[in-house]
Amino acid sequence: SRRLRAVDIGKRKAEGRKIIALTAYHAHTAGIVDPYCDFILVGDSLGMVMHGMESTIPVTLEMMILQAQAVIRGTSKALVVVDMPFGSYEASREQAFLNAARVLKETGAGAIKMEGGAHFAETVAFLVQRGVPVMGHIGLTPQAVNTMGGFKVQGRAPDDERRLLEDARAISEAGAFAIVLEGIVEPVARAIATSPRVTAATIGIGASAFCDGQILVLEDMLGLSEKTPKFVRQFGSLRAHIEDAVKAYADEVRAGRFPADDHTYG
């Protein structure tokens, strides 16, 4: 069976089927989640999750391309979406197209994701008209950490609902096939997800159950990350599993029980 495409994500919304997504940055973890996901996001959160950076700002296009290549190699079914990192798309629609084209050409991914609201609608339309499927990302946009003054839930200020709805409509009408809604209070997330003018599929992360689909950072939901936001549910406890395995290994080596005969060439 062929790999899912951006248009298939839109069909899920039309059919009322929930869209399932996770992030992945490596061939092996991507391969494990592939059968269960409609799309896999190679997120720029890899800067924080894999590299210990304090924000996603330092992430480069080269880092995104390298991990997207790994994820494509490890998967066969899910659509692979790649984040455009900070500084790779904001200057002009031409810059956005040239860098997005590099991502699609060099990785084989089927779509890119860009953070930003109504002011990016023109860029979204420019890319979509030229063959680049675009996923939007509004609300808490981590690349805006320096102007937002931290990672803050969106939708609580008086004008937020109108502004976020306008962002979603503009990105959707520009041709985005989906929009990530991140860190948005339920009433506002609901208004966006149920708006007839937002035809793009809404993918929530900390944005209520009203969205058409959900995404989480894989390491967060597996219980591998040390600190996670309120919206994360830990479906696993990998950190404890890894610690147990590493402790057992150290104990066995120290005691002279590993390697045993089974692991030794005669």
Q: Which one of Na ion, ligand KIV, none interacts with residue 205, CB within 5 to 8 A by kind?
A: ligand KIV
Instruction: Please indicate whether residue 54 is annotated as part of the active site.
Output: no
Mind giving me the DSSP string for 168-210?
A: HHHHHHTT-SEEEEESB-HHHHHHHHT-TT--SEEEEESS-TT
Would the annotation count 83 as a binding residue? yes
Element (H, E) at 242: helix 238-254
Q: Can residue 43 be called a binding residue for Na ion (CB under 5 A)?
A: yes
DSSP state of 154: B
Instruction: Report phi then psi at 217, rounded to 5.
Output: -75, 125
Residues in 12-41 at the binding interface with ligand KIV, rule: CB under 6 A: 23, 41
Tell me the window of 27-35, 43-51, 60-68, 123-131 that interacts with ligand KIV (CB under 6 A): 43-51
For 79, 156, 179, the CA distances from 142, given in Å and listed in that order, are 23, 18, 15
Would the annotation count 115 as a binding residue? yes
d(CA 38, CA 26): 17
Q: Which one of ligand KIV, Na ion, none interacts with residue 168, CB within 5 to 8 A by kind?
A: none
Q: Can residue 45 be called a binding residue for ligand KIV (CB under 6 A)?
A: yes
Q: Can residue 176 be called a binding residue for ligand KIV (CB under 6 A)?
A: no
d(CA 146, CA 153): 15
Residues in 61-120 at the binding interface with Na ion, rule: CB under 5 A: 83
Task: Find the binder of ligand KIV among 43, 85, 155, 175 (CB under 6 A).
Answer: 43
Q: Which residues are annotated as a binding site for Mg(2+)?
A: 44, 83, 115
Q: Which residues are catalytic?
A: 182
Binding site for Na ion (CB under 5 A): 43-44, 83
